[in-house]
Amino acid sequence: MSPRQLLLRASDLIGRPLVTIDEGEDVAEVKDVVYGTADAAVLGFTLNRRGFLGGPMREVVAWSDVAAVGRHAVMIADAGAITADGDLLQDVRASRRRNVLGSDVITDAGQRLGKVTDVVVLVDERPEVVGYEITGGEGLKPGGSGRVFVPLPDTLAVSGEALMVPAAVSDFVTDDLAGFGAAVQRFRQHLRTTS
């Protein structure tokens, strides 16, 4: 992992304010993190209005319009980055809007690993979903907390209501987010050498 890359939980992004660089205005907040099932690329965010009484917005912001993801805010150049048009909104409307949180993870050998409690995002020039945080995994090794991080391959397989991962993943599970980037790289290298 290069120094410019950053591993984040998706839940760290949810609720973060969206701030414009030109006026420093707090224009919305992140509601959902949206990613593509084909290549796990993070596509953008759906939004809530600011404030407790602010409900969901029909507009979205595409990742290509995000200037930076900071510790306390997601930065966009100006309010024009929030759009009610464009490919992301069409994809969100056309899809089943499946919320991954709470979904079961099973291996391609048929073993149920647990339920997704969070998603790990590698923030980079091309951000992608690189892992799931799951609980309830009975056959997984690390951790006394019952919460582990499961790395994902470059391409995702989605099967009905469950999320599918290769059976070899159980050797690369970790309970430490700091070392998770290395686990993802080892896992993907393993898949390349064995395929």
Partner 1 sequence: MEVAVIVAVVVVLAVLVLGTVLIQRRRRAGGVISVETRPRARERRGTGRRT
- Looking at 50-58, 68-76, 105-113, 179-187, which segment touches partner 1 (CB under 8 A)? 50-58
CA 28/CA 148 separation, integer angstroms = 32
- Looking at 61-69, 77-85, 97-105, 168-176, which segment touches partner 1 (CB under 8 A)? 97-105
Residue 38 CA to its chain's centroid (Å):
13
| The one among 7, 30, 130, 165 contacting partner 1 by CB under 8 A | 30
Cβ of residue 22: shortest distance to partner 1, in angstroms? 26
Under a CB-based contact definition with an 8 Å cutoff, are residues 184 and 151 in contact?
Answer: yes
| The one among 5, 64, 95, 155 contacting partner 1 by CB under 8 A | 95
Residue 153 CA to its chain's centroid (Å):
14
Q: What are phi and psi of 81, to 5 degrees?
A: -70, -20
Smaller CB distance to partner 1: residue 51 or 144?
A: 51
Whole-Å CA distances, 126 to 1, 78, 122, 123, 130: 13, 21, 9, 7, 12
Q: Is 135 an interacting residue with respect to partner 1 (CB under 8 A)?
A: no
Tokens 């900071």 sit on residue: 70
Smaller CB distance to partner 1: residue 31 or 112?
A: 31
| Number of chain positions touching partner 1 (CB under 8 A) | 35
Q: Is 10 an interacting residue with respect to partner 1 (CB under 8 A)?
A: yes
- Looking at 40-48, 142-150, 170-178, 180-188, which segment touches partner 1 (CB under 8 A)? 40-48
Whole-Å CA distances, 175 to 10, 52, 61, 147, 178: 17, 34, 32, 7, 9
Joined tokens for residue 189: 């290298």
Cβ of residue 116: shortest distance to partner 1, in angstroms? 8
**Residues near partner 1 (CB under 8 A):** 10, 14-15, 30-38, 43, 46, 48, 52-56, 87, 90-92, 94-95, 97-101, 118-119, 129, 158
